[in-house]
Amino acid sequence: MNSNPITEHREAQPYAAVRMQVAIPFGKFLQPAWSKVHNWLTEQGLSHGPAIIRYLTTDMSTKLDIDVGFVIERAIPGADRVMTDVLPAGQYATLRYTGAYKGKGIFKASGTLIEWVKENAAVWKISTIDGVEWWDSRVEWFLSDPDTEPDPHNYQTKLTFLLADGK
């Protein structure tokens, strides 16, 4: 189940993550990456917010470039295979998906958001480098913790895709 897509202004948000290139399906790589980042943040004495996947490239026919980690309160230097970066401030197309993290639900929710942006004549903030599209900010925010919410049908994921030129 999806909420209606909307646009919203979002402030810059620092995060810590493991950057990787993965082929679809890539689910088996997520938990080890989140564990590594969580453990590293704990060693730094820092807590974190929701788990995220930031999609840097999205060509489904090849390997995707993604960051897998957590949002953090403040920017810090990365180390030990954990990098840090900042999601840029700006106008985002957003949608909230309710349902299991596994399966095609989130994929279909992304398709819904992409179609909505096309229908509303908006444009993504992307760059093309060597023929590959790089997204400035395309993020899945995993708002529900499976350790505290046992029913996958109640899981909440927010999709936020940065728009160009404030559109």
Pairing of strands 64-71, 13-22: antiparallel
Domain containing 142 equals 6-166
Asked if 70 contacts 52 with a C-beta cutoff of 8 angstroms, the reply is yes
CA–CA distance from 92 to each of 27, 57, 143 (Å)?
25, 17, 17
- The pLDDT of residue 60 is above 80: no
Q: How much is the pTM?
A: 0.92
Looking at the 3D structure of the chain, how many domains does it have?
1
For position 165, what pLDDT does the model report?
Answer: 76
Lowest-confidence region among 42-46, 52-56, 98-102, 150-154: 98-102
Residue 1 lies in a domain: no
- The whole-angstrom separation of Cα 86 and Cα 89 is 9
Percent of the chain with pLDDT over 70: 99
In a domain, 152, yes or no: yes
User: Is residue 135 in a domain?
Assistant: yes
pLDDT digits (tens, 9 = 90+) for 90-146: 999 999 999 988 778 888 999 999 999 999 888 999 999 888 899 999 999 999 988
pLDDT tens by residue, 66-87? 999 999 999 999 998 899 999 9
Residue 31 lies in a domain: yes
H/E stretch holding 90 = strand 90-98
Asked, for residue 140, whether it belongs to a domain, the answer is: yes
Q: How far apart are CA 87 and CA 72, in angstroms?
A: 11
Where residue 149 sits, what CATH number does that domain have? Answer: 3.20.80.10
Q: Is residue 64 part of a domain?
A: yes
